[in-house]
Amino acid sequence: MDGPIPLINIKRKRPSISEEEGLLYDNNGNSSNIQYMEKHKGKFESKTGFLKKIFYGISFSILGIGSIFLVMLIIKLLQFGSSSDGNVTIENYVNVVAKHTKNNNLNISNGNLLTPLLVERVVGTESHKKVQEFIVNHFKGLQWEMEIDTFENNTPLGIKTFSNYIFTKNPISERRIVLAAHYDSKYFKDKVFIGATDSAVPCAILMDIAESLNFALENQQKKIENEEGKDGLRKSTTVQMIFFDGEEAFENWTNTDSIYGARHLAEKWEKETLNSSTTMTKLQSIDVFVLLDLLGTKNPSFTNYYKNTEKYFNNLSEIETMLLNKKYLTTTNNSNAFFYHSEALVDAPKLFIDDDHKPFLRKNVPILHIIPYPFPKVWHTEADNANALDENTIKDLSLVFKLFVVQQLHLNNY
């Protein structure tokens, strides 16, 4: 990951939880629309039922044209605060994830998924090729469909061959939530650079998410097909993972010496239709493009940079708070939130973070850029290796992202 970022001092605090009502509140006392405490289920239902009786009675007793609009307004108010998953508890979400999660996947010294990635991954090297094979074999074992985008491009070091890897669980689905990271590491002439945060850890997290949710995704796919047929599958939303090649500049970051893989794939997908039965392009099928980068060090801070994906970012923040409240998080990062909101950074015109999301952003794909602000101190130094990583933080972030996918795809019943 390259690109300058301005230093702005932003205060951040964790959202608090009201134990009395089981609602999430921000630091200004504004309640969110997540109701997750099962013990209050009856209270919410009884209040709602009582309000319905009163409001409907009043509405139908009012004569005149305005009564129709009043009824519509009341229904909207009664719906406010409800979620598509109803009264599902955070425990339900965690149970979906825990059933098929291997605890040592993200261990630093002996992790099934992380340790093999903690090597140099410079484009065109033998270790780069081994990492490609490692990622491919993982998703083959999970039976995800694979698309390989291989191409050649001129670089300051001559012509290089790049390969993007795209994995999709249910390729028939016409809606996708994309999770992405780059798997190459930066070339340095005179030093060894592992790029543990940049981006071995994000890649390992994607692989961990896929493995943990694979069973639930398969069961959901079978149920939709059994109940609604192929047409139901086409209308459903699935998860897609992209592993970009050539994110790093070989010399100095420029428009032509950087994000080789992302630039190529965005151009390609802008022209390619999703399948032969639709005119929808592959870019148009993306509900949100979530890019992970520079993850793995202690106490990271994430904010949202784009207004049109605010609901997704808020979802991550709410999930983190619920997990913290239920003591599912292992990190000691209790005073500050991972995910905090800053109006100063949303759509900030002077904020320049060049990364793999930019070619997609320019083509109007909704972007959620998960990158620490400010960057880790080890960024683009030899110290960006296993010693820079905090295992608890990595596992906590992976859990938050897993529950994000579970909630977005409604996997809690599988």
Annotated catalytic residues are: 247, 293
Element of type H or E holding 175: strand 175-182
| Residue at token pair 């904010």 | 303
Peptide bond into 199 cis (omega under 30): yes
The three-class DSSP label of residue 373 is coil
367: tokens are 């972007």
The three-class DSSP label of residue 159 is strand
Q: Which of 243, 237, 242 is closest to 285 using CA atoms? A: 237
CB distance 189 to 300 below 8 Å? no
Spacing of C-alpha 319 from chain mean position: 12
CB distance 321 to 413 below 8 Å? no
369-379 in b/e form (b: 16+ CB < 10 A) is bbbbbebbebb
CB distance 351 to 411 below 8 Å? no
H helices of 99-143, in order, are 126-142
Peptide bond into 374 cis (omega under 30): yes
CB distance 25 to 17 below 8 Å? yes
Report the distance separating Cα 279 and Cα 276, nearest Å: 8
* Nearby residues of 140 by Cβ (< 8 Å), 6 or more positions away: 146
Report the distance separating Cα 412 and Cα 406, nearest Å: 6
Provide the pairing of β-strand 175-182 with 286-292.
parallel
Up-side HSE of residue 306: CA atoms within 13 Å toward CB?
Answer: 20
How much is the CA Rg of the chain, to the nearest whole Å? 23
For residue 41, with 0-12 CB atoms within 10 Å meaning exposed, 13-18 middle and 19 or more buried, which class applies? middle
